[in-house]
Structure 1
Amino acid sequence: MNVWNTPERIALREMVTSFTEKEIAPHLPAWEDAGLLPRELHQKAAAAGLLGIGFAEEVGGSGGDIIDATIMTEAVMAGGGSTGLLASLFTHGIAIPHIVDSKNADLVDRYVRPTLAGETIGSLGITEPGGGSDVSGLTTRAVRDGDEYVVTGAKTFITSGVRSDFVTTAVRTGGSGFGGISLLVIDKGLPGFTVSKPLRKMGWHCSDTAELTFDEVRVPAANIVGEVDGGFGLIVNQFVNERLSLATQAYATAQRSLDLAIEYSKQRETFGKPLVTRQVIRHKLVEMHSRTAAARALTREAVEKAAAGESPLLEAVVAKNVSVAACEWVVSEAVQIFGGMGYMRESEVERHYRDARILGIGGGATEVMTDLAAKLMGL
């Protein structure tokens, strides 16, 4: 027994896999075509305790830590889910941790608890049309006016931006650079707050993505998360979790694609023999397994450190890059093994192939992560 296969975590894995097989996998193609998830899914996931995994019971969560959250991600993928599904259903994983960290009881009651209960949907607004990974350069401004902030600017590529009820938004309340950034919770429906139609994407089709525009939107000053001009610190505190989550999504996608490829190669016959009897296919499958296993081991090691209270900055960065590289290679080989069927929308590996491409962009582009790793190594 180890931390990954305690009786409680085995039960968790089985429960999440079963939920995914019953409530998600059969409907995923339709949700992909619709371009979004039904709100009812959030309620079902909350009732099953999924939305609250990794969040303390004191704020309305189900308890558990980052290991439990990692197991949940693995199980969703193993049950036939997708990273687009994870991004959309669990957007609160990037929308509310800053509020929890701020220990603001009022904001927790108004935003965290109803979100974990599946009653509301939150999103995180950081990326802007003029910049992605350069958080310090954001230009959306919030100016204090009495008991309110007046917000002007725009955000783009916002996951769940169409369906969300509120957006935890990075705004500039002070001067240039990291020190002038605050986090402000902005409710949908406020005058001057407009949301674009869903943006069309290469992958993550079931995850709605939007551009948000703020035209002198008046937001209560009480909606500031943490200290004024202290938003960047709250954002940085979530970097490790976000990168490890994406790394997990990457190797879990690779594992699911490998499993599908193995099953298909045993069933598919070519020239009178199962595809798996071909040496070139068996060697492909072994290499797919090797890269996936290495990425999983590297990521889990970093996850264990994070669960122990450490801050594995370098390990998280490296795990993300290694897992993304493994995922991109494995999903490509899976499509190749499936052949023409792998190119069809009815094939699950086709979805994973499309969805995998964002993992090396979101949460810090691969190139940015590599440069950061060099700095963390003192180079």
Structure 2
Amino acid sequence: MISHFADSALRPRYMGMAADSVGKRAESCAADGRLDRDSWQELSDEGLWRLPVPVRWGGTGGTWWDFVAAFEGIAAGGRDLGFNLSLVAQAGLIRSILLYGTDEQKETWLPPLMSGSVGATALTETTGGSDVTRIRTAARQHQGHFLLSGHKDHITNGPVADVALTLGRVPEHGDRDITLFLLDLRSEGVTRGPVENMMGNRTSPTGPITFDQVRVDATNIIGGIGAGIEAIYNTISLDRLLYGVLAAAYLDPLLEDVLAYARSRTAFNVPIADHQYVQGRITDAKFAVEATRWVSYGALDALLKESPQTSLMCSVAKYHAGETLKLGTETALRVMGHRGYMEGPHTQALKDALGTVIAGGTAEIQRKNVFNQMRRLSSTH
């Protein structure tokens, strides 16, 4: 499917670029727990964020299929899962601005985001977790603008982002008050907490953001007061399917490593690749990778066509992403045995992969959404 819609040169181009930048810095960035801003800037300069943006707004006039092709290249070439999770967070922010932003908002916010600024999508709160409707962050009107107060937790890119798409409430508006605000995180009243000390994905800095009477002009509300839920669900849908795209692209070279090792390592006088139990483990991982890849492509197709199946498909993609990453990285460790278990790239990959079963909506939330969508779609027939 993707070959029909994307520039076929994008994947290898960005793969080579990421191998020379992200891949070479990943280990030191993980040790320091920091985002690789140098690689982020290099990829931005190369036009990554311009790919899905119309020429009118400074983009190259490509499609989200083009972005996915480049994103796959970065995942396969850079081989840094955390860095790619930070890319996912920014992709959703850009899509929200493109879909729901005014001309003024696009003119203001897209140029810096395409040129190297880092974005975050600040949804999660301590009390709500994956249930974004339980947020408490709220804004009150004051002399023609809004003052936003509240606390967000576990925000991808939160400690380092320049811009945040923030979900909050406007209680004066009534029951339908959930609203999206675009914020410059250098504004007075914004405080970022320390980077969370996570087990994995340390190259994707995550942490809290607190807002204390932060001024937000009415021109920086995305989609209007009360329109936040529709817009954020569209953003979440893109995030979820990108996890699936990432899982498949990231695991492709890892399985190549596993296969090469299995062919070179001997046991009982034959390469372990000749043993059926090893073949079974490797093929189980391959089955999962291909299923995840193609359901994610299907989810993107559904999203772009505004299909009634979109939410369901994106949750299926996200669910498979976490499970497939877990299976693929565990397969590498099992096939490589003690060598795989020693601290190094394969243990790091497994630690990173485990984070994806909870990040971006837990596996259990995906099951809940799929069931609810099945029930909804069944009742419409």
Query: After TM superposition, is the score higher than 0.5?
Result: yes
The residue that corresponds to 2:55 in the other structure is: 57
Q: 1:186 aligns with which of 179, 183, 189?
A: 183
Give the match for residue 334 of structure 2.
336
Q: Measured at CA, do residues 242 and 335 of structure 1 come closer, stay the same or move farther in structure 2, by a change above 3 Å?
A: same
Distance of 2:355 and 2:233 partners within structure 1: 21
* Conserved? CA contact 2:159–2:206, under 8 Å: yes
Q: 1: CA distance between counterparts of 2:324 and 2:88? A: 23
Amino acid at match of 2:208: E
Q: 2:174 & 2:364 partners in 1: Cα distance?
A: 21
Quote how far apart the aligned CAs of 1:245 are: 0.7
Q: Cα deviation per residue 1:1-39 (whole Å; 9 max; x = unaligned)?
A: xx4335963211110111111111111111111212243
Other-structure match for 1:27? 25
Matches of 1:258 and 1:335, distance apart in 2:
11
Aligned CA RMSD, in angstroms, stands at: 2.3
Could you tell me which residue of structure 1 aligns to residue 146 of structure 2?
149
Distance in 1 between residues matched to 2:5 and 2:290, nearest whole Å: 23
Aligned partner (choices 331, 353, 356) of residue 353 of structure 2: 356
Task: Return the letter of the residue paired with 1:248.
Answer: V
Equivalent residue number for residue 43 of structure 1? 41
Q: Measure the CA separation in 1 of the matches of 2:293 and 2:99.
A: 28
Match of 1:290 among 270, 287, 291: 287
Q: SS of the residue aligned with 2:60?
A: coil
Contact persistence 2:6–2:66 (CA under 8 A): no
Aligned length: 375
Q: More deviation in 148-157 or 296-305?
A: 296-305
Q: 1:327 aligns with which of 325, 328, 332?
A: 325
- CA contact 1:197–1:210 (8 Å) conserved in 2: yes
Partner Cα distance (1:375, 1:88) in 2? 29
What displacement does 1:262 show? 1.0
1:213-232 matches, within 5 Å, as 213-232=210-229
Q: 1:62/1:356 Cα in 2 relative to 1: closer, same or farther (>3 Å)?
A: farther
- Amino acid in structure 2 at the alignment position of 1:160: N
Decide whether the 8 Å contact of 2:88 with 2:239 is kept in 1: no
Q: 1:142, CA displacement in angstroms? A: 0.7
2:177 paired with 1:168: no
1:241 lines up with 2:238 in the alignment: yes
Report the counterpart of residue 81 of structure 1 in structure 2.
79
CA–CA distance in structure 2, aligned partners of residues 289 and 5 of structure 1 = 20
Which one is further off, 194-203 or 90-99? 90-99
Name 1:116's counterpart in structure 2. Answer: 114
Label 1:166 to 1:298 Cα distance change in 2 as closer, same or farther (>3 A).
closer
Partner of 1:375: 372
Q: Give the superposition deviation at 1:182.
A: 0.8
SS state at 2:182 partner: strand
Q: Is the 8 A contact 1:127 1:158 kept in 2?
A: yes
Residue identity (%)? 25
User: In terms of mean alpha carbon deviation, does 352-361 or 196-205 score higher?
Assistant: 352-361
How far the C-alpha of 1:291 sits from its partner, in A, is 2.1
Point out where structure 1 has 5 or more consecutive residues left out of the alignment. Answer: none
In the alignment, is the contact (CA less than 8 A) between 1:121 and 1:163 conserved in 2?
yes
Q: Specify the code of the residue in structure 2 equivalent to 1:217.
A: V
Per-residue Cα deviation, 1:181-233 (whole angstroms, up to 9, x for no partner): 11112222323211111111121111111111112222333221221121112
Aligned partner of residue 154 in structure 1, secondary structure: strand
Looking at structure 2, the residues matched to 88 and 313 of structure 1 have their Cα atoms a distance apart, in angstroms, of 22
Give the equivalent residue in structure 2 for 1:250.
Answer: 247
For residues 265-319 of structure 1, what are the alpha-carbon distances to aligned partners after superposition, in whole Å with 9 as ceiling and x for unaligned? 2233446543323332122212221222222222222323334453522222222
CA contact (8 A) 1:254 1:327 kept: yes
**Greater CA deviation, 131-140 or 245-254?**
245-254
> Which residue of the other structure, out of 9, 12, 15, is the alignment partner of 1:14?
12
Bigger drift between 239-248 and 51-60 goes to 51-60
Map of 2:297 onto structure 1: 300
SS where residue 91 of structure 1 aligns? helix
* AA matched with 2:278: I
CA pair 242-344 structure 1, distance change in 2 beyond 3 A:
same
1:259 aligns with 2:232: no
1: distance between equivalents of 2:327 and 2:6?
33
Give 1:261's aligned amino acid. V
Shift of 1:105: 2.3
Measured in 2, the distance between the counterparts of 1:69 and 1:299 equals 14
TM-score, with normalisation over the residues of structure 2?
0.90
Aligned-pair distance for 1:150? 1.4
Deviation string, structure 1 residues 117-144 (Cα, Å, up to 9, x no partner)? 11x2221111012121111110011111
